[in-house]
Amino acid sequence: MENRGNILMEKYDFGRLLGQGTFAKVYYGRNLKTGQGVAIKVIDKEKVLKVGLINQTKREISVMGLVKHQNILQLYEVMATKTKIYFVLEYAKGGELFHKVAKGKLKEDIARKYFQQLICAVNFCHSRGVYHRDLKPENLLLDEDGNLKVSDFGLSALAESKRQDGLLHTTCGTPAYVAPEVISRKGYDGAKADIWSCGVILFVLLAGYLPFHDSNLMEMYKKISRAEYKLPSWLPPEARRLLSRILDPNPHTRMSIARIMENSWFKKDLDSKQDINSKCDNAAETKMELGKPTNLNAFDIISLSTGFDLSGLFVNYDQKDEVQFTSTKSASTIVSKIEEIATRLKMNVMKKDQGSLKLKGSWEGRNGILFIDVEIYEITSSFHLVEVKKLSGDTIDYQNMLRKDIRPALTEIVWAWQGEQTQHK
């Protein structure tokens, strides 16, 4: 299922290179069915594996599934082969906000618009228990209409990452934008740290340069810890006051997002019929429905009970009550094969609905009758994910049957068992 020529899994074509990093390249692509432009991030799985970034990749996917918002870059789906992981992303035609700032300070009303959209997006992330931790102009993209899109959640953290003290402890981020408490290594509130970074971004948008800068990194950290910066004299008094309250080195007294949204400078130029709170609320995520069999995006796959864990694409297979495999056969072919195997094993087939089967044993085991659930999910029209799971009965009986009867009988329709290193390219 590797891309053939410039066609990825019969769904997207992609062409020019948009950018590249150590482990990934980003290409411009197009949905063959809808004609929609997309960005396709191609990650080298071997490189990610070697440097131990598997969990970070998984976390980025999980996080982006939680934050569906008009000012956050959308991840449409994730696909994978033996050697590559493909992120299909919303295409931000306007490029990085950084390129605008690199030319100098922005007009006050333009800077305010971007800041309003940034705060709206960050507030939404925090309401979902997500802390970005690497907010900077390079990670803020613009669409063709000039609207801001927060991107790159590779260093983000979820609420459950907090320790017993309720704080995060991983030091990360870009030095010039990182909050003083992050540098101190004593634990920090992810929301407060993000707010500080938003303040630095606002300073850069209005002033055209960084508030904290020094060729010596330790000296710069000292300036950040003391909030040692100078506000340009040309800044309006209201903006100066707002910045001084956000760039407060004490996270306990630092301005909250709720207070920022109430600020008179911040609220200026907003639609009089709709304040920023309702604007943010209206951008809330839409619930994704899971079809059977239907197209699955990465988040649907990951949320399948203990489900399809992306780590299964590059870690050793571990036998469990639940296994998954991918197949290039049609759903009807897969169903027919499952029914054939069930008949051979003297199991009753109980059809639930399209793409979903339940198999019932005809004998009483040590822990009751064995029930097996089979779910078929369509990733593309010619590529399916199949989940086989024990619902009840004896685990030993189930695993013996899986190993000796079911797996060997499925060989002709299996493209790859998830989690095994014997996958095809």
Detail the residues annotated as belonging to a binding site for ATP: 41
Q: Which of 44, 134, 165, 300 is catalytic?
A: 134
Dig out the tokens for 117 from the structure.
Answer: 């959209």
Asked whether the beta carbons of 121 and 39 are under 8 A apart, the reply is no
Longest dimension (CA), the chain: 84
Length in residues, the chain:
425
CA distances from 291 to 116, 222, 288, 354, 355 (A): 36, 54, 10, 9, 9
DSSP bridge pairs for 368: 365
Residue 150's contacts (CB-CB under 8 Å, 6 or more residues apart) are 71, 72, 73, 118, 121, 122, 125, 132, 135, 139, 140, 141
Peptide bond into 175 cis (omega under 30): no
Structure tokens that stand for 424 in this block: 């095809």
Binding site per annotation, positions: 41
Q: Is 134 a catalytic residue?
A: yes
Helix (H, G, I), strand (E, B) or coil at 5: coil
Helix runs in 70-157, H state only: 97-101, 108-127
Residue ranges in 310-419 assigned as alpha helix (H): 331-344, 395-401, 407-410
Distance CA(394)–CA(321), nearest Å, equals: 10
Q: What is the set of active-site residues?
A: 134
